[in-house]
Amino acid sequence: MWKYDNANFAVIGHAIELKLKQPWETVMRDRLFKPLGMDSAGFGPPASGKAIDQPWGHVITEGGKMRSVSPDAMGDSWIWVPELQQKVHADNPAALGPAGMVHCSIGDLAKYAAWQLRGARGQGSLLKPATFKKLHTPFKQDGHYACGWYVEHRDWAGGDALFHGGSNGTFMTAIWLAPKKELAVVVCANLGGTGSEAAVDEAVSALIKEYLADQ
């Protein structure tokens, strides 16, 4: 029996810092972002509060209205979201950084997904084949959850498909990998909550149907 908890990823991030004696952000830049060419990758909200240079996150507030969330809405600045029954900031607090404070362009996210796909096909780089296998193999106690990936048979994937999705409350992202079909799908939305989750799933389905229509 497994239980997802952001704190687990925060602990792993701190363990990396203790082992390598570097901030986990530096390790990510040097060992993942740079080798994969993810030049847009960074930490925290993707936009700055002084200019509309990147998309701002959004939430659904009282009365079902959509509201943008300034990148400066951190710390003591927050918005109450009835749908989520919690306070929402522009991003997760720094303490939960390893669990989800990375931002990047959709193109760079696709590079990451393609890297994971190659690893699942035994063609990966940066990590040993055995490490990729461990990351993508479900724990015996549950049978579906691996190290950050949910693994389940899908007919359209021709076998097992790997999924990871998440939200910081103002954005939503989903990654699907189909190793046997050599297909990776990434979809993002700058809106958190269940409405965004449904839209992201619909977009994923449309892309799968388009690119696997002849298979």
Top pLDDT among 16 and 193 is at: 16
Q: Is residue 191 part of a domain?
A: yes
Cα–Cα dist 202/195, whole Å:
11
Q: pLDDT value at position 2? A: 66
Q: Where in the sequence is the domain holding 122, given as residue range(s)?
A: 6-211
pLDDT at 214 exceeding the cut of 80? no
Q: pLDDT value at position 85? A: 84
Q: Is residue 17 part of a domain?
A: yes
Nearest to 54 by CA among 79, 71, 73: 71
pTM listed for this prediction: 0.93
Looking at mean pLDDT, say which of 15-29, 69-83, 86-100 comes out highest: 15-29
DSSP category for residue 155: G
Q: pLDDT value at position 49? A: 75
Q: pLDDT value at position 62? A: 83
pLDDT, tens only, 12-69: 999 999 999 999 999 999 999 999 999 999 999 999 877 778 999 999 988 888 999 9
Q: pLDDT value at position 1? A: 60
Q: Is residue 1 part of a domain?
A: no
Domain total for the chain?
1
CB-based contacts of 64, cutoff 8 Å, min separation 6: none
CATH number reported for the structural domain that contains residue 21 in this entry: 3.40.710.10
Q: Is residue 121 part of a domain?
A: yes
What percent of the chain has pLDDT above 70? 97
